[in-house]
Amino acid sequence: MARASERRAVAPDDAPGGPRVERRPSGWRIRSYAAARQVLQARGATTQAGFTAEFIPTGYLEHHPILISDGRLHDEQRRKVGRFFSPAVVAERYRPHMVECADRLVARALAAGGAPVDELALLYSVEVTGRVVGLTHAPPERMARRLVAFFRQPPFDIEKPDLGRSRGQWALAAWNGLGPVVGFYLADVRPAIRTRRRRRADDVVSHLLDEGYTDRDILVECLTYGTAGMVTTREFIAMALWHLLENPGLRAEYQAGDEAARFAILEELIRLEPVVGHLYRRVSEAFTIRDGDQEWQLSPGDLVDLRVRDTNTDAEAFGDDPMSLCPVRHTPRGVHAAGMSFGDGAHRCPGQPLAIMETEVLLTRLLAQDPVVVRRPTLGWDDLVAGYTLRDFRIRLRRRSPGGGEPTP
């Protein structure tokens, strides 16, 4: 199979290679899968530092957001919300809606002769995740615009004091963020809260109300799900389709395989193309990490940058030629097929089954319409999620002949 390394999306400061564990003035950079896993599993010794978590004001919140909570509180939150994202629940409860939504959007694209992939993927991921969360009152197109507007922020550097922003940039960030957040609350979150207060449903908003969350608390949680469940899934859908369309052998294997085989291909793709390229933790209690016969002491206050693209291509975890795309790759016990793309430990993303399944459902239906690339995407970078963006990616769809078959639901 074709190698994926030629097109791997990287941050502006990323460079191939480097020490497996590196001490820098700004903190630690870790490229070793084993060492990164030790950091993420160091319970009680680190706190969330990514996604500007350390700059989120929490004093007015009655419940600590799940994204930045830790310890027993986080464990309890994860246990309760996990029932919405288990593989069995995703397959039984949400897959039928994924199929209906994908069929509708693909039919619309087919009628138009093609589609901008990044926009189609955004509408799809917003509608699917919105159903899980309970944000179903506004048209997905409008909610998508509000979420995208929230991401129009000045650049920042998490390793620099005050994120390296000037006062003017902070003012611009507040200005750019306030409008979309207010609009998201008024048009999407508040209507959902009011409806669920009158009558509960089996969704995340209803669960949060049962837990006593205030409107502010729920808004913050919905922003988290909007970021993790909608915006990042959009990028992976586009990236995976790009690989499949430019690798005929991989595409043929994907279309000939069963659901498990398609899932394996997608997990291998997200290992090589992780949407979130960096995971950051702040050390709160001293602890030691080891890699081979070396060890390092991490001290309170240290910032740790886990370089996901490097951990996911660590030969000691993924064997010879870790940069190649191999869906049947055999990994040691404790090494996830998707690498660190969904994290590890207490903060491992609970939405992996949802993200992989919704990607499989849409891509299977798109590929059945014999798409061809009209315009390759432009790769960009988003500081908030420390991940890539793909824009201006356009495909043309060609209806299959009557004997060509259609995707099975």
In total, how many domains does the chain have? 1
What does the alpha-carbon distance between residue 388 and residue 282 come to, in Å, rounded to a whole number? 23
Instruction: Answer for the pair 371, 364: CB distance below 8 angstroms, yes or no.
Output: no
Residue 402 confidence (pLDDT) above 50: no
pLDDT tens sequence across 206-237:
999 999 999 999 998 898 887 777 888 999 99
Asked if the structure places residue 143 within a domain, the reply is: yes
Asked if the structure places residue 409 within a domain, the reply is: no
Q: What is the mean pLDDT of residues 232-260?
A: 95
The domain spanning residue 107 has which CATH number? 1.10.630.10
The residue among 101, 11, 99 whose CA lies nearest residue 309 is 11
Instruction: Answer for the pair 267, 331: CB distance below 8 angstroms, yes or no.
Output: no
Return the pLDDT at 165: 84
Return the pLDDT at 262: 97
Query: Which residue carries 């052998």 as its tokens?
Result: 249
Band (77; pLDDT cuts 50, 70, 90): confident
Q: Which of 13-27, 93-107, 188-202 has the lowest mean pLDDT?
A: 13-27
Asked if the structure places residue 132 within a domain, the reply is: yes
Q: Which residues pair with 290 in a beta bridge?
A: 295
Q: Which residues contact 125 (CB under 8 A, 6 or more apart)?
A: 229, 230, 231, 233, 234, 237, 358
pLDDT tens sequence across 150-180:
878 777 788 888 878 888 887 887 777 788 8
Asked if the structure places residue 65 within a domain, the reply is: yes
Q: Which residues pair with 180 in a beta bridge?
A: none
H/E run at residue 375: strand 372-375
Return the pLDDT at 9: 56
Asked if the structure places residue 47 within a domain, the reply is: yes
Q: Which residues contact 158 (CB under 8 A, 6 or more apart)?
A: 49, 50, 52, 280, 303, 383, 386
What does the alpha-carbon distance between residue 51 and residue 395 come to, in Å, rounded to a whole number? 32
Angle 190-198/215-225 helices, nearest 10 degrees?
Answer: 120
Return the pLDDT at 404: 42
Asked if the structure places residue 117 within a domain, the reply is: yes
pLDDT tens sequence across 282-336:
999 999 999 999 999 999 999 999 999 999 999 999 998 999 999 988 888 889 9
Residue 93 confidence (pLDDT) above 90: yes
Q: What are phi and psi of 144, to 5 degrees?
A: -60, -40
Asked if the structure places residue 234 within a domain, the reply is: yes
What is the reported pTM? Answer: 0.91
Structural domain boundaries, residue 362: 5-404
pLDDT, greater one: 130 or 177: 130
Asked if the structure places residue 21 within a domain, the reply is: yes
Q: What are phi and psi of 304, to 5 degrees?
A: -115, 125
